[in-house]
Chain A
Amino acid sequence: MLNIIFFARVKEELGCGGLQLEWSDTLSTLDALQEHLCTRDNGRWGEILTEPNIIRAVNQSVVVGDTPLNANDEVAFFPPVTGG
């Protein structure tokens, strides 16, 4: 299972804190997973998940560019950080 989680404004706009999807050949990269998620809710998720400054993390490490996904990976999508 891929464990997908959202934070902050992304979570609020999607109306979803996270979901689980079965890993498969068609969901074997981060870009493929994102494309799949973008089709949800008649494409509404795509407007939120394709914002240019969205940050993607796999297993709690920020990823720049595409990367392969393995079964049981944790994938997070979140907006730019504003702590401190």
Chain B
Amino acid sequence: MASSSATTPAYSPSIRSLVTVQEADFDIAELQKWLLSGEADEGAITTFTGYVRADKNGGDILYMELEQYPGMTQSSIESIVAHAGERWPLLAARVVHRVGRLYPCDQIVWVGVSSSHRADAFSACEFIMDYLKAEAPLWKKVFNGLGGYWVEAKASDSSRAGRWSSKHGK
């Protein structure tokens, strides 16, 4: 991500944005309300919500523990949001990522972006989520009836993020 600053930003990164890393659950309606400023040029909001799946690698999970790097996790996501703001004409962006103990069906992550048009909002939301998965320092440890194991990183996650950089001309 850092190297992409060599290209001139297409848009101002100084959009209204907020990134939170927290243990507490979140209220999607409240987050969506935060995105809306009431300005007339708001035409689209795209959001993504991630949940804990009950069957990770085919076994029933009891819960997972999400570990962060205090400080860096938040600043890493803030940097990703700033890059999205440079690349698409966004009006606002909001990200919440939970840490600590999470149970199946719990909400883990929420990404929301507002823009004048849906295409920019869709792309920016997916871009933020793809880079969050590939770069934000967060680690999942899954606990089932037999004990706990760390989730392995998937190559598909870094390649999903990589798709954007090839288009970005980094």
Which interface class (under 10, 10 to 19, 20 to 34, 35 or more) fits A?
10 to 19
Of B7-15, B32-40, B114-122, B132-140, the one with at least 4 CB within 8 A of chain A: B132-140
Quick check: A83 and B66 within 8 Å, CB to CB?
yes
B108 at the interface (CB under 8 A from A): yes
Complex partner residue of A82 from B69, B129, B140, CB under 8 angstroms: B140
> A-B pairs with CB below 8 Å: how many?
69
Q: Which residue of A is nearest B109, CB measured?
A: A84
Say yes or no for A60: interface residue by CB 8 A criterion: yes
Q: Say yes or no for A65: interface residue by CB 8 A criterion.
A: no
C-alpha gap A60/B72 in the complex (Å): 5
Q: Which stretch in B22-30, B83-91, B147-155, B162-170 binds the other chain?
A: B147-155
| Cα distance, A53 to B139, chains bound together (Å) | 14
Give A74 Cβ to nearest chain B Cβ, in Å: 9
- Contact (Cβ within 8 A) A61 B2: yes
Closest to B72 in A: A60
Q: A7 and B108 in contact (CB under 8 A), knowing A60-B69, A60-B75, A78-B69?
A: no
Docked complex: A1-56 residues within 8 A CB-CB of B: 5, 7-9, 12, 53, 55
CB distance from A82 to the nearest CB of B (A): 4
CA distance A8 to B132 in the complex (A): 17
User: 1/0 per position for A64-77, CB-CB distance to B under 8 A?
Assistant: 00000000000010
Residue of A nearest to B140 (CB): A82
- Contact (Cβ within 8 A) A82 B75: no
**Which interface residue of B67, B72, B132, B137 has the most chain A CB atoms within 10 A?**
B137
Tell me which residues across on chain A come within 8 A of B134, comparing CB atoms: 81
Q: Are A8 and B141 in contact (CB under 8 A)?
A: yes
Residues on B with beta carbons closer than 8 Å to the beta carbon of A8: 67, 139, 141, 150
- Of B50, B72, B134, the most chain A CB neighbours within 10 A belong to B72
| A76 B136 Cβ-Cβ under 8 A | no
Q: Which of A7, A9, A80 contacts B69 (CB 8 A)?
A: A7
- Does B94 sit at the interface, judged by CB under 8 A? no
A-B contact pairs, 7 of them (CB 8 A): A7-B67, A12-B150, A78-B69, A78-B137, A80-B153, A82-B150, A84-B132
- Chain B residues within CB distance 8 Å of chain A: 2, 50, 66-67, 69, 71-73, 75, 97, 108-109, 129, 132-141, 150-153, 157
5 extra A-B contacts, CB within 8 A, seeds A60-B69, A83-B109: A7-B67, A8-B150, A76-B72, A84-B109, A84-B157
